[in-house]
Amino acid sequence: MKVLVLNAGSSSQKSCLYDLTEPLSIDAPSPLWEAQIDWTAQAGKAVLRIKANGKKIEQTIESNDRAIDTQQMLKTLSEGETKVIQHKSEIEVVGHRIVHGGQQYRQSVRIDQSVKDAIADLARFAPLHNPANLQGIEAIEQSLGDVPQVAVFDTAFHSTLPAAASLYPIPYEWYEKGVQRYGFHGISHQYCANRAAQLLKRDLNNLKLVTCHLGNGCSLAAIQNGQSIDTTMGFTPLEGLMMGSRSGSIDPGVVLYLMREGNCSIDELEKLLNKQSGLLGVSGVSSDLRQVINSDTEQAKLAIDTYIHRLRSYIGAMIASLQGVDAIVFTAGVGENSAMIRSRTCEAFHWLGLKIDHAKNQASPVDQDIATTASKVRVLVIHTEEDWAIAQDCWKIIRSNL
Active site members? 154
Q: How far is the CB of 217 from ligand ADP (least distance, A)?
A: 5
Q: Give the closest residue to 344 by CA, choosing from 318, 373, 315, 374.
A: 315
Q: How far is CA 351 from the centre of its chain?
A: 31
Q: How far is the CB of 337 from ligand ADP (least distance, A)?
A: 3
Site string for ligand ADP, 283-312 (x = CB under 6 A): -----xxx----------------------
CA dihedral sign, ordered 123, 126, 131, 133: negative
Site string for ligand ADP, 336-375 (x = CB under 6 A): -xx-------------------------------------
Residue 13 binds ligand ADP (CB under 6 A)? no
Residue type, 380: L
Residue 169, preceding bond cis, omega within 30 degrees? Answer: no
Q: How far is the CB of 216 from ligand ADP (least distance, A)?
A: 4
Give the side-chain half-sphere CA count within 13 A for 18.
26
CA dihedral sign, ordered 63, 66, 71, 77: positive
Residue 132 binds ligand ADP (CB under 6 A)? no
Site for ligand ADP in 214-243 (CB under 6 A): 215-217
Residue 40 binds ligand ADP (CB under 6 A)? no
Residue 252 burial class via C-beta count within 10 angstroms: exposed 0-12, middle 13-18, buried 19 and up: exposed
> By C-beta, is 218 or 377 nearer to ligand ADP?
218
Assign 25 to helix, strand or coil: coil
Tell which one of 250, 333, 352, 368 touches ligand ADP (CB under 6 A): 333
Backbone angles phi, psi at 44, to 5 degrees: 75, 0
Residues 188, 332: Cα–Cα separation, whole Å: 9
Residues 313, 74: Cα–Cα separation, whole Å: 45
Q: How far is the CB of 243 from ligand ADP (least distance, A)?
A: 9
Site for ligand ADP in 190-219 (CB under 6 A): 215-217
Residue 9 binds ligand ADP (CB under 6 A)? no
**Which position's Cβ is nearest ligand ADP?**
333
Torsion from C-alpha of 318, 321, 325, 327, nearest 10 degrees: -40
Tell which one of 31, 234, 244, 278 touches ligand ADP (CB under 6 A): 244
> By C-beta, is 204 or 381 nearer to ligand ADP?
381
Residues forming beta bridges with residue 61, ordered by sequence position:
46
Residue 186 binds ligand ADP (CB under 6 A)? no
Are 15 and 34 contacting, i.e. CB atoms less than 8 angstroms apart?
Answer: yes
Footprint on this chain of ligand ADP (rule: CB under 6 A): 215-217, 244, 288-290, 332-334, 337-338
